[in-house]
Amino acid sequence: MSASKPDLQKTLDDVKNLIDTAKPLLEKVTTLEENETLRVQFLGRKSKLTDILRTLKEFSDEDRVIIGSEANKIKTQLSEMVENNSVRLLKIKHNRISDKEKIDVTLPVYEPQIGHIHPVTQMQWKTEDIFQKMGFDIVYPYEIDDDYHNFTAVNLPEGHPARDNWDTFWTEDGQIAITHTSSMQNRILKEFKPPIRVIVPGRCFRHEATDARHEHTFTQVEGVYVDKNVTLNNMLATLKTFFSEFYEKEVEVKFTPDFFPFVEPGGMMSLTCILCDGKGCNVCKNTGWLEILGCGMIHPNVLKMGGIDSDVYSGFAWGFGLERLVMLKYNIEDIRHFYSGKFDFLKQF
């Protein structure tokens, strides 16, 4: 049964209803806490406005411009109302302070330590936003999963020698601290209907020695794309678009064949060294290229285990370590800095 065509007018009405609903509530706000609650409700990552923006991929290019323009107007109006409320309520709060409580401006200045979002979390949000704009959904993995989803369902059956490439943490009851976010791939293939466009950002764990380039705990972003007539060129174009947006500069990509059990053909994708713009430096070993991730066309066995007919559909998948992308973006020399608890390092971000 084919999906119904998205309704432009209904979506525009939904956007308009947001301001009609939010405006009277924001006009009656009396506390900063209430103002923040309404901000999250109408502008947060799980708000109705965000849900509407995530449906843009279902519309034509022409309708997408109309809805996006209207949604941005509403977002601006709501943001201004929230900001005005904050200013107004802070003034009221200050005016209520008694003479005894007022600050002595002759005292030495004390600068409070204000917390901030961890750099890896910041870049995960940026990554999610980029892929959402490209029409991808987001699925988060189970950090503890079973052998079937972590290995067997991605074409690594029991006894497969490639399992040795993953130094795995096992629980006492035979579960796994996931070694890659590919553990969600089988569930995605079963639960979504083609066309499938999903990324899986999450924490992974491997029992290995740490050094400047390796950590036992890291963040991986898995990508899955399945549709009719999908090719390797589609994959390279998708990743090129992402990396150019992530690094805020135009990058080139190239594909080098390699073996991974869950893709065929599979390989490593490299991009122009963003530190030297491809001219050659110590980081890229004077090649002008940086090998950045493993990827390839999803193996027919993986599609079959996910209930997808490989004679009709094809797809590609990839997985990259987010910390390594952040290291390149900010020229960070040691991956261990991220989780070392060194405030001098973290507060730079």
- Label each residue of the chain as H, E or C: CCCCCCCHHHHHHHHHHHHHHHHHHHHCCCCHHHHHHHHHHHHCCCCHHHHHHHCHHHCCHHHHHHHHHHHHHHHHHHHHHHHHHHHHHHHHHHHCCCCCCCCCCCCCCCCCCCCCCCHHHHHHHHHHHHHHHCCCEECCCCCEECHHHHCHHHCCCCCCHHHHHCCCEECCCCCEECCCHHHHHHHHHHHCCCCEEEEEEEEEECCCCCECCECCEEEEEEEEEEECCCCHHHHHHHHHHHHHHHCCCCCCEEEEEEEECCEEEEEEEEEECCCCCCCCCCCCCCCCEEEEEEEEEECHHHHHHCCCCCCCCEEEEEEEEHHHHHHHHHCCCCHHHCCCCCHHHHCCC
pLDDT per residue, tens digit, the chain (349 aa), is: 445 567 788 888 888 888 888 888 888 888 888 888 888 888 888 888 888 877 877 888 788 888 888 888 888 888 888 888 888 887 777 666 555 555 666 767 767 777 788 999 999 999 999 999 999 999 999 999 999 999 999 998 888 777 776 688 889 998 999 999 999 999 999 999 999 999 999 999 988 888 878 888 999 999 999 999 999 999 999 999 999 999 999 989 999 999 888 999 999 999 888 888 888 887 788 888 888 899 999 999 999 999 999 999 999 999 999 998 998 888 888 888 888 888 888 888 8
pTM score: 0.66
